[in-house]
Amino acid sequence: MEFQFGIPSHVTFGRGSVKKVGEVLEEFNAKKVLCVYDQGVKQAGIVGQVITYLKAKKIEVVEFANVVPNPPDTILEEGAELAVKEQVEAIVAVGGGSPIDAAKAINVLITNPGPIHQYEGLNLVKNPTKPLIAIPTTAGTGSEVTAVSVITDTAGEKKMVIGGRHCGADVALVDPDLTIGLPPAVTAATGMDALTHAIESYVSKLASVPSDVNALKAVELIYKNLAEAYKNGSNIEARTNMLLGSMMAAYAFNSALLGLVHAIAHPLSVYCGLPHGVANACMLPDVMEYNARDEKVQKRFRDIAQAMGISVEGLSDKEAADQAVAAVRELSQSINIPSLEEAGVKREQFEQLAEATLNEEISIMVNPRDVTEQEVVKLLELAYSTKKAGV
């Protein structure tokens, strides 16, 4: 048995943990910080809370609010230049995956020469970075605990994955209270993103014992709580379980990596503008069904079905896998995940999307089944409308 497993972040999890942000920065002797966020988090009032806690500890705050969904490389130099000019001593990232990923990449550029493209891949960042505190406000990407930053390469029209040493947050303050105000549609998309992480890491070719343990627990937590969090966003138990599930799914995929759903989702975001969670959610059931053609994957999906609470006694592995796929499809429909057509994707984009999918080399490599461009087109067709048929 051989595997690699690691998590870059020290985690403080629980209600009210965001209040400790000033204390944490004092431990790093940081007196001036760059606060990275997007406008949605600011409008929700969360950024104001964080800044209040920082100023209570007499920490000077420089704000960088230019983050947008699927953050483009073009904003990173701007953020790094501001950080260097202001001589900040640490970074605080507040928000979902986009602000946290942007903050990670900005942090790389503060202490490493640009452009950011040269760090695409694993373990290419040579110089240590500034202390980074991540405060997630969605139960989705789990970026607060991964050594990965996903950035849009605007010139190359693709998603860049920058990962490994010096690419993660040092501390994650994971506070379920910050997810209470999350709108239902965002809850749905980010929750399905987290479920995708758990499922893809469990069937990954790089899966290991520790990633398996985290992935299956994440499946259980997310599957059993997402519908309730969607319907009743103030249910703190559901919100807590979703945030914990998202984090544990990230524990799993930080080492096991992610497969074909993500390989297709990245081009959907770049070429069609879909939010990352929506893109994953649209593709997950059909890619699961595609991967379940493999007998070894069927055994893994049997475990996933059991983690969801589905009785698989007396079922063959294929029947159990079918139950898992059906359960995910039903969950997706119950929380109003759109079809690709409803999300604005055009059929004439399928060939371009399929070609770009095969360029997502890492995800294609770890997916349990090989795939061709023609098969990707078929999967896109299946996800295009609510009418479903086998691949």
Query: What amino acid occupies position 317?
Result: D
β-pairing verdict for 171-174 and 10-13: parallel
Secondary structure (3-state) at 17: helix
Reply yes or no on whether the pLDDT at 387 is more than 90.
no
Give the per-residue pLDDT at 187: 97
Q: pLDDT digit string (tens) for 348-380?
A: 999 999 999 999 999 999 999 999 999 999 999
Mean of pLDDT values over 322-338: 97
Res. 388: pLDDT tops 60:
no
Express each pLDDT in 254-281 by its tens digit. 999 999 999 999 999 999 999 999 999 9
Per-residue pLDDT tens for 195-228? 999 999 999 999 999 999 999 999 999 999 999 9
pLDDT bin (cut points 50, 70, 90) of residue 386 is low
Say if residue 1's pLDDT is above 90.
Answer: no
Strands of the sheet with 60-67, listed across from one edge: 10-13, 171-174, 132-136, 90-95, 32-38, 60-67
pLDDT of the residue at 389:
39
The answer to whether 320 touches 302, Cβ cutoff 8 Å, is: yes
- 81's CB contacts (< 8 A; 6+ apart) are none
Q: To 10 degrees, what angle do helices 184-203 and 236-256 make?
A: 40
Kindly state the average pLDDT of the residues 71-100.
95
pLDDT tens profile 286-328? 999 999 999 999 999 999 999 999 999 999 999 999 999 999 9
pLDDT exceeds 70 at position 192: yes
Q: What is the mean pLDDT of the chain?
A: 95
Out of 67-71, 173-177, 280-284, least confident range: 67-71
> At the topology level of CATH, where does 184-384 sit?
Dehydroquinate synthase-like, alpha domain (1.20.1090)
* Adjacent-strand bridge partners of 95: 136
Q: Domain 10-179 belongs to what topology?
A: Rossmann fold (3.40.50)
Ordered by start, the domain boundaries in the chain are: 10-179, 184-384
Percent of the chain whose pLDDT exceeds 90: 94
- Please, which residues have CB within 8 angstroms of residue 187's CB and are 6 or more apart in sequence? 139, 179, 226, 229, 230, 233, 242, 335
Task: Answer whether residue 47 shows pLDDT above 60.
Answer: yes
Domain 184-384 in the same topology as domain 10-179: no
Q: What percent of the chain has pLDDT over 70?
A: 98
